[in-house]
Amino acid sequence: MGKEDVSAKKRRKINTSSSSDTSKPVPVDIYKRVVEFEESEAQLRPAEKDATLFKKICQDIRHLFAEISELKTKDTDEAREKINAKRIEASLNLVALKKLNRLEKVRTRAGRDALHKEKQRVDSTHLLLQNLLYEADHLNKEVTKCLQFKSKDEEIELVSLEDFFANAPAEISRPDLTKTDEHQLQLARLEWELRQRRELSAACNELISSKERVAAAIAAARSRLDALVPHLRDVLKSTKPLQECLALRLDDKRDEARAASLLPSPLFLLFANTSAYSDALGSNSVAVSISGDEDEARRLEQLNNVDSDLVASNDSDSDQENNEDDQREKKKRHHRNAKISKEEKAEAKKKEVLKKHPLNVQVSVKVQDGTALNLIFSYLLHLKIVVVKFTVSLPKPITGVSAADVLNGHCILNELYPGDTGCDSPHPATSYLLNAAGISEDFQYFISELGKPYIWAQRMCGLDFMATITEDQKINKNNNLCPSLSVSTVENFILTLKKRLKSRVELMKELQDLESGKILPVKGDFPCPIRLSGSLTQWQSVGWPEYSQSPSTSFLIAEGLVNPNDLLYRAIITRQSAKLVALVALRSDYPRKAPMFSLTLHWNGTHHAGINDDIRDIERFINTDLGSEDKKQHTLSVQITKLLTCLDILLETTGSSEFPPDKVMFCPVRGRNRLKPYKFLKQGNGVFVQY
C-alpha cells in the first residue's frame, strides 16, 4: 500500500486534529517517520475511546453485511449498485479496524517496556538494602564483642573499699581523683594490692629462713641427746648387781610402767586405778598385770602419732581414721595384687574393724577360800569399747554338775549390775561403724570370740556412753575419758565382784549339797518341825526351753519375773506315790533376790498353780514373804525346807490313808478357799495354822 493511502485514511479518520502533522514535509526515512508518528499517535489517543470506536465500526460492518445479503436476495441491478457501494463502505471500515489494531499493538509494547524498566529499578534497590543490613549486623557483633571483654584485674581479690581508703597512703589512693572516677579508683586499688603483696611475700621468706634456722638447732640438740642414750644404758646396767643385792624390784616396776605408757588411754586409766587399789589393799586380793605384744603396741603408737600429725583434728572422729586406713589398704592391695577375691577383702576389713589393741590388762580378784576370777580387759581400737574375757580358778575341783555351772560359764558376771547383760555393745555408734565396714552381722555375733562389752567394764575404763547409763547424774556429751568415773567404778566393781564371788561360792556349796540330796540344817530361828517325811530325790539344772515349756511357769514368765539369763533348776521331791516337781529360778544377784519356785504335783493327776489352788497357796507361801520374816542366809535351803513342810501338810490334809497325819494343826482346812495350815507357830511342840 502507498503512503498516500495511509495518510488519506488517516485524514479521514482523524479528520481535523492530525491533518496538520501529515501535511508536514518529511526529510528522513519515511518508514521511520511513520513508525514514530504511529507511536506518538498511540500515546496521544486515549485507549478507551479507541475501544468504543472499534466496537462501533464492528457494528457498522455487521449492518452492512446484513444489508448486502438482503440486497443480494433481491438480485437487481439497482441492488447490485448498492451492493458495490456498500462493499466499498465495508472495506473502508475494515481499513479503520486495521489501523486501530496497529495502534493497540504499539500501545501494548510500550506498556511492557515500561514495566520491565520499573522491575529492574526495584531489583537494584533491594540489593542495596541487603548490603546495608549485613553491614549493620556486623557492626552490632563487633560492639557486643567489645562489651564482653574480661580484664585480668577482675579476678584479683581486692581489699574492700573502706579498708582501701582507710589504709592506703594518699599518693596511691588519690581520693580527690578516685572518688569521682571509677576507672582511676580501680587502678589505684590494684596498685595498692600489688604493693601489699610484695611486702607479705618478703615477710614470708624471712620467716621460712628463721624456721630453718630453728630446725637446725633442734636437730643438733637431738643428736646430742641421742649420744647420751648409750651412756645411760651403761649406767643402768652397772646398777643391776646393786639392785639384786638389795632386792629392789625397780626394773620390774619400770617395765610395767613402760608397758603401761603404751596402753590405750581407757586401759591405762583402768590399770592405774586398779593397781592403785591393789597397792592399797594388798596384792593377795586384787592383782593387776599387763600382757600382750609390746613391740606391736609400740609400732601402733608410732603409726598413731603420724596420723595425729597429719590429721590435726580430734581423735574422736573415728570414721575418718577408718576411712584413711581403708584407703591405705586399698592402695597397698592395688600395688601387690589387683585380683584379690571379695571374701578375702571383707574378711580383712572385718578383722581391721574388730582389731584389739595388742596389749591387755589382766585383773584377778580373789576371795578368802582361794577362788579367783581372772578378768582380761581388751580395747577394740576402732569400735572404741572395752571387752572382757574371764576365767575362774578354783582351789579344789567341784563335784556336781549344776554346782559347777554356778561358777563357770557366762553366768557369774551376769547382771552384776541390774540390766547389764553384756550382750550388746554399750556404744551407740557400734552398729554404724560395723555397717560402714560392710559387716552385716550384729555385734552380738562377735561376742563369743572377742569377749563381753559389759557396761561396768566401760565405766571402769572411764568410758561413759550416755545412751545406756541412766542412773548417772552427770552425763558427758561425748565419749571423753572421765577419770573420776573410773576411780569410783573400780572400787565399786571390785567390792561388788567380791560379794558376787563370795555368794556364788556359797551357792556352789549349797548346790553341791542339794545335788547329793542333802539339805543344810537350817540355822537361826526359822521354826522347823520335827520330822519331814518327803525327800529331795533330784536336783538338776535345766535349760530355758524346758523351763518355759512347763505349764507351771507360764505365770512367772508372763509377769516378766524370770528370764533366760537366770539360773534354772529342777528339784524333785517325793513322798510315797506323790511326786512334786519344783522348777527353781535363781536371779543372777542371788541371794539378794530370793529364788522363785513353780510347782507341779503328780499325785491323783497333775496339779499346778494354774489349775489348783492348793499348789497356788504353797507357791504363795514360799515365793512371797507372807510366811516368814527370817534372815536372808541360805535362802535356797530355807525355801526347800519350807517346801517339804508344805508338801507334807498338803498330803496329810487330804485324808488319804497313804499319808497319816503326824503334825499338829488346829484345823486342817479353813475358809471358803479351803486353805491348808502352812504356817508354823512355835507353841508347845509347834502348831500349824493358816494365818
Partner 1 sequence: MLDKILYNTVLSQTLSPCGKYLIAGNIYSQLAVYDLDRILNPVVELLTSDYNKPKHIHTLESGHQICSLASTEKFLIVGTVNEISGWDWKSAVSSKLSKPSWSIRIPSRSSMEQTDVNSLWLSEDESKLYAGCGDNNVYVFHLEDGRLVSTFKGHNNFIHAIDGRHQQLITASEDGCVMLWDTRTSSSHNKLEPHTNSKVSRPDIGKWVGSVALGEDWIVCGGGPRLALWHLRSLDAVTVFDIPDHGIHVSFFYDDSVFAGGAAKHFYQLSYSGEVKVELPVSATTVYSAVLRTNPKVLAIAGSSPEIDLCTTFNYRDQVLHFR
Residues in region 491-550 near partner 1 by CB under 8 A = none
Residue 601 host element (H or E): strand 596-602
Q: Which long-range contacts (CB under 8 A, 24 or more apart) does 48-55 make?
A: 50/100, 50/103, 50/104, 53/96, 53/100, 54/97, 54/100
Comparing CB distances to partner 1, the nearer of 380 and 609 is 609
Strand partners, 290: 361
Return the C-alpha cell found at 587.
Answer: 536371779
Pairwise CA distance, residues 447 & 442, whole Å: 10
Return the C-alpha cell found at 30.
Answer: 519515511
- Contact with partner 1 (CB under 8 A) among 278, 623, 637, 645: 623
Q: How far is the CB of 524 from partner 1 (least distance, A)?
A: 17
Give the list of residues 6+ apart from residue 493 with CB closer than 8 angstroms, or none. Answer: 416, 456, 459, 460
Neighbours of 29 (CB within 10 A): 10
Residue 581 host element (H or E): strand 578-586
- Contact with partner 1 (CB under 8 A) among 494, 609, 647, 651: 609
Interacting span for partner 1 (CB under 8 A) from 53-61, 91-99, 159-167, 553-561: 553-561
Comparing CB distances to partner 1, the nearer of 65 and 666 is 666
Using CB under 8 A as the binding rule, whether residue 620 contacts partner 1 is answered as: yes
Using CB under 8 A as the binding rule, whether residue 691 contacts partner 1 is answered as: yes
Interacting span for partner 1 (CB under 8 A) from 76-84, 455-463, 538-546, 617-625: 617-625
Using CB under 8 A as the binding rule, whether residue 570 contacts partner 1 is answered as: no
Alpha carbon of 125 to those of 102, 118, 119: distances in Å? 36, 11, 10
Q: How far is the CB of 297 from partner 1 (least distance, A)?
A: 50
Task: Give the closest residue to 380 by CA, choosing from 425, 413, 420, 343.
Answer: 425
Q: How far is the CB of 441 from partner 1 (least distance, A)?
A: 38
Using CB under 8 A as the binding rule, whether residue 612 contacts partner 1 is answered as: yes
- HSE-up of residue 265 (Cα within 13 Å, Cβ side): 11
What mask of x and - would describe binding to partner 1 in positions 651 to 670, judged by CB under 8 A?
A: ----x-----------x-xx
- Contact with partner 1 (CB under 8 A) among 410, 616, 630, 664: 616
**Residue 619 in contact with residue 638, Cβ under 8 Å?**
no
Task: Tell me the site size for partner 1, rule CB under 8 A.
Answer: 28
**Residue 643 in contact with residue 617, Cβ under 8 Å?**
no
- Contact with partner 1 (CB under 8 A) among 90, 613, 630, 686: 613
What mask of x and - would describe binding to partner 1 in positions 438 to 477, judged by CB under 8 A?
A: ----------------------------------------
- Contact with partner 1 (CB under 8 A) among 510, 619, 648, 652: 619
Pairwise CA distance, residues 589 & 586, whole Å: 8
- Contact with partner 1 (CB under 8 A) among 672, 682, 684, 685: 672
**Residue 422 in contact with residue 453, Cβ under 8 Å?**
yes
Strand partners, 688: 665, 680
Pairwise CA distance, residues 75 & 150, whole Å: 111
Using CB under 8 A as the binding rule, whether residue 594 contacts partner 1 is answered as: yes
Q: How far is the CB of 634 from partner 1 (least distance, A)?
A: 15
Radius of gyration of the chain (CA): 63
Task: Give the closest residue to 422 by CA, choosing from 385, 391, 392, 374.
Answer: 385
Comparing CB distances to partner 1, the nearer of 610 and 661 is 610
* Maximal CA-CA distance, the chain: 200
Using CB under 8 A as the binding rule, whether residue 559 contacts partner 1 is answered as: yes
Using CB under 8 A as the binding rule, whether residue 674 contacts partner 1 is answered as: yes
Q: How far is the CB of 691 from partner 1 (least distance, A)?
A: 7
Q: How far is the CB of 539 from partner 1 (least distance, A)?
A: 22
What mask of x and - would describe binding to partner 1 in positions 286 to 305, judged by CB under 8 A?
A: --------------------
Pairwise CA distance, residues 489 & 496, whole Å: 10
Residues in region 248-267 near partner 1 by CB under 8 A = none
- Contact with partner 1 (CB under 8 A) among 76, 370, 626, 631: 626
Pairwise CA distance, residues 666 & 691, whole Å: 11
Comparing CB distances to partner 1, the nearer of 32 and 632 is 632
Pairwise CA distance, residues 250 & 244, whole Å: 10
Q: How far is the CB of 655 from partner 1 (least distance, A)?
A: 8
Using CB under 8 A as the binding rule, whether residue 596 contacts partner 1 is answered as: yes
Q: Which single residue is written with the C-alpha cell 481499513?
A: 95
Alpha carbon of 180 to those of 83, 162, 171, 185, 307: distances in Å? 112, 15, 16, 8, 56
Residue 190 identity? L
Comparing CB distances to partner 1, the nearer of 139 and 558 is 558
Pairwise CA distance, residues 301 & 303, whole Å: 5
Calculated CA dihedral for residues 193, 195, 198, 202, nearest 10 degrees:
-130
Q: How far is the CB of 367 from partner 1 (least distance, A)?
A: 27
Strand partners, 284: none
- Contact with partner 1 (CB under 8 A) among 624, 631, 658, 662: 624
Q: How far is the CB of 623 from partner 1 (least distance, A)?
A: 5
Pairwise CA distance, residues 390 & 374, whole Å: 5
Using CB under 8 A as the binding rule, whether residue 561 contacts partner 1 is answered as: yes
Comparing CB distances to partner 1, the nearer of 257 and 611 is 611
Q: How far is the CB of 375 from partner 1 (least distance, A)?
A: 32
- Contact with partner 1 (CB under 8 A) among 2, 25, 543, 671: 671
Determine the Cα angle at 170 with ends 164 and 171, to 5°: 115
Comparing CB distances to partner 1, the nearer of 332 and 592 is 592
Interacting span for partner 1 (CB under 8 A) from 150-158, 191-199, 218-226, 588-596: 588-596
Determine the Cα angle at 690 with ends 686 and 691, to 5°: 95
Neighbours of 577 (CB within 10 A): 12
Comparing CB distances to partner 1, the nearer of 252 and 625 is 625
Q: How far is the CB of 574 from partner 1 (least distance, A)?
A: 20
Q: Which single residue is written with the C-alpha cell 576507672?
A: 183
**Residue 3 in contact with residue 38, Cβ under 8 Å?**
no
Task: Give the closest residue to 390 by CA, choosing from 450, 479, 464.
Answer: 450
Comparing CB distances to partner 1, the nearer of 175 and 551 is 551
Using CB under 8 A as the binding rule, whether residue 162 contacts partner 1 is answered as: no
Interacting span for partner 1 (CB under 8 A) from 3-11, 41-49, 499-507, 592-600: 592-600
Comparing CB distances to partner 1, the nearer of 249 and 592 is 592
Comparing CB distances to partner 1, the nearer of 506 and 613 is 613
Q: How far is the CB of 591 from partner 1 (least distance, A)?
A: 11
Using CB under 8 A as the binding rule, whether residue 611 contacts partner 1 is answered as: yes
Interacting span for partner 1 (CB under 8 A) from 90-98, 324-332, 379-387, 622-630: 622-630
Return the C-alpha cell found at 394.
Answer: 578354783
Residues in region 81-120 near partner 1 by CB under 8 A = none
- Contact with partner 1 (CB under 8 A) among 625, 657, 684, 685: 625
Sign of CA dihedral 47, 49, 52, 55: negative
The residues of the shown chain that bind partner 1, judged by CB under 8 A, are 555, 559, 561, 593-594, 596, 604, 609-613, 616, 619-620, 623-626, 655, 667, 669-674, 691
